[in-house]
Amino acid sequence: MIARQTRWPQRQAALDLYTLACGVFLLIAPWLFGFVRPLGRLDAELVGLAVIALSIAAIFVFADWEEWLKVLLGAWLIAAPWLLGFAHTSAMHVSIAMGLAVAFLALLELWVVHDPDYAPSAS
């Protein structure tokens, strides 16, 4: 497991900022799109808060487990409409789209961090 004290100036932090934006979007999506199912609303709010917390933590101190948790949250968002019973609603579309985005960004960050050919330029 790679652990660094601080990584704010590095390029990977931008991916955490994008994931943070996804979490904020999830948090406000129930109001933006008028989710009518209570479980869809609650799921978006709770997962949004979790993604925000993990993204903020990952910006300042990187750990692989933070990214893997975001991958799991993304997978949950994709499966949640059917598991919680809000399929075929606007909440389903938001949940799947944000699940794909969160999982993709987390996996991309893991790949960038562990890619031996990736060498950040000294800016």
Q: Are 22 and 71 in contact (CB under 8 A)?
A: no
Spell out the SS3 assignment of 89-118: CHHHHHHHHHHHHHHHHHHHHHHHHHCCCC
Confidence of residue 13 (pLDDT cuts 50, 70, 90): confident
The upper half-sphere exposure of residue 51, i.e. CA atoms within 13 Å in the direction of its Cβ, equals 35
Q: What average pLDDT does the segment 32-53 reach?
A: 95
Domain assignment present for 64: yes
Confidence of residue 121 (pLDDT cuts 50, 70, 90): low
Domain assignment present for 119: no
Q: What average pLDDT does the segment 8-24 reach?
A: 82
How many whole angstroms separate alpha carbon 94 and alpha carbon 96? 6
Domain assignment present for 82: yes
Question: Residue 30: which domain range?
Answer: 12-114
Q: What average pLDDT does the segment 93-103 reach?
A: 98
Please tell me the pTM assigned to this model: 0.84
Q: What six digits make up the tokens of 36?
A: 């009518």
Domain assignment present for 3: no
Question: Domain tally for the chain?
Answer: 1
Alpha-carbon 18 to chain mean position: 8
Domain assignment present for 27: yes
Domain assignment present for 58: yes
